[in-house]
Amino acid sequence: MRLAQYIALTGLCSRRAASRLIRDGRVSLGERLANHTDRVELIQTPAGKQASLSVCVDGEPMPPIADKAYWILNKAVGTDCRLLAEDTTSLLHLLPAQPRLYPVGRLDKDSRGLLLLTNDGELTQKLMHPSFAHHKRYHVRLDRPFDDDFVVQMAAGVSYKDVTTLPCRVTRLGPDSFEIILTQGLNRQIRRMSQALGYHVIDLKRVAIESLTLGDLPEGEMRELTEQEIAMLRR
């Protein structure tokens, strides 16, 4: 297994952060400093986990590979999805110390709703990569009522800055609210699409990622996924 992948799988940090640790000379492999091309041999521990006896970060031996964990959070407005310890509004302060979880994508600080959290890098990559075209469903309220032309234009794709969004599904929920299902994940996409058409988003809530929904999970609370939910996501 590649060294950075192993460090990430222990739950210490992301693979990208693990690569930075190696670059900065903080990772050793046996008696020498590690490099990016190193691979590690894994052994089975008495507890039945996989580990390497030779990898240390800042002189401390790495723990075994962490068990996969899958949670959802009903994120409230004001929570920042960046994992910054110095930011009191950071999602980091809501997460358990172990297992170390990472958000699959982000919700803007001023948005709310479903956030998937996991340490499964393979699943994260498949859910995030645009080639897989996974559906994410949002409920949106605007600053004023809109007409049917707005629905048609949003669904057809909207141009702003140097991008044109892909066609998507848009359904009216009320005079000033709608549901939108995206397969893209552009930065602040729904807000910028609405703004390009002359409207301002005042409430944006993600209610589903593929088959995964919030159900009756209270805002600000999190829970583990059921085995059935995990299996459906993997499929």
Catalytic residues: 108
Half-sphere exposure of 161 (CA within 13 A, CB side): 9
Q: What is the C-alpha separation between 128 and 93, in angstroms, rounded?
A: 24
Q: What is the C-alpha separation between 86 and 143, in angstroms, rounded?
A: 34
Q: What is the C-alpha separation between 184 and 109, in angstroms, rounded?
A: 19
Q: What is the C-alpha separation between 17 and 22, in angstroms, rounded?
A: 9
Bridge partners of 2, per DSSP, are: 39
Could you tell me where the beta strands, DSSP code E, fall in 11-106? 27-29, 32-33, 43-44, 50-51, 55-57, 60-61, 70-75, 102-103
- What φ, ψ does residue 16 adopt, rounded to 5°? -65, -45
SS3 106: coil
At residue 171, what is the residue type? Answer: T
Find the helix or strand (DSSP H, E) in which 9 lies. Answer: helix 3-9
Q: How far is CA 122 from CA 35, 54, 108, 119, 205, in A?
A: 23, 25, 24, 9, 26
